[in-house]
Amino acid sequence: MKKIIYKIQYYFLMLACKILCLFPEEKRFKFGDFLGTFTYKFIKKRRLVALTNLKMAFPGKDVKELEKIALTSFQVMMKAFLCTLWLPAYLKNEKNVKIKNEDIFLEAYKQKKGVMVALLHMGNMEASLKIAEKYPVVTVAKKQRNPYINKFIDDSRKNDLHLTVFTKSKSTSKDLIKRIHNGEIFALFSDHRDKGAEVDFFGTTAKAPTGSISLALKYDLPVLIAYNYFNPNNTCTAVIEKFDLIKTGNFKSDVLNNTQLLINRMEKIITKHPEQWMWFHDRWNLYRKLYRHKK
């Protein structure tokens, strides 16, 4: 029964994709705005998570401003999701992605060690691949519940975007280490809650992944931060920033300290573009504590 449901979901997605792509790109993004607004208004759990996160991150902002940021964030994330359905075509249009500080990326790649890129869940996320479209990129992605949709996404990333994608699992670190001496670019999302180090994030304790920092320290890789944000006309700006590791010789301490420094930098980036970040992710794991007992 579950297999049949998964197939129906997959065929529905494929049909929706074909219908959506019949329309001009501007109309597709407007539809994304509509879906984002719909999701914000009618999926209560995600709305509560977003608003709770925002209140904690920006206690000085009034409720209306926080609600506006939350709504725009839902719209941005929905447009980013929809854009993955035609991302290769989106990236081929040179006007769609403006790259800032590309020289920083080229300088790091010229070291021929490989490059560790810490990514944020913001803006048109996968459009940041434009920065490294001519180079081998390795990344990690969470496995989708629907195996047919999961295969569709993986095949698209591998065939159209030339990515090597590892499914997130207990063996992920070993899989990455096997590729570490190939001089490739390792692009890992580093801003969401995950097993790793305890850090201070917007003044509250949170868990942060340490994978990008620990691998960079262990194998002497240059570290970059990459993120992007949607512009009003649905083009996007992809930004590269250099991140200098602090090394004292104490590996465990260096992982913890550099992870905190990385999170500090990401906090500043999010503060600069708050409406572009994925606020409906339960970053501080608060939903269960605040709301579930009320049901």
For range 151-173, the mean pLDDT: 79
Question: How far apart, in whole angstroms, are the C-alpha atoms of residue 154 and residue 125?
Answer: 16
Give percent of the chain with pLDDT exceeding 90: 67
Strands 163-167 and 115-119: unpaired
Q: Quick check: pTM over 0.85? A: yes
Mean pLDDT of the chain: 91
Give percent of the chain with pLDDT exceeding 70: 97
Structure tokens that stand for 60 in this block? 């000085």
**What pLDDT score was predicted for residue 153?**
79
pLDDT of 133 strictly over 90: no
pLDDT of 281 strictly over 60: yes
For range 157-164, the mean pLDDT: 76
Lowest mean pLDDT: which of 123-137, 218-232, 277-291? 277-291
pLDDT in tens, 217-252: 999 999 999 999 999 999 999 999 999 999 999 999
**CA triplet 169, 221, 133: central angle to 5 degrees?**
75
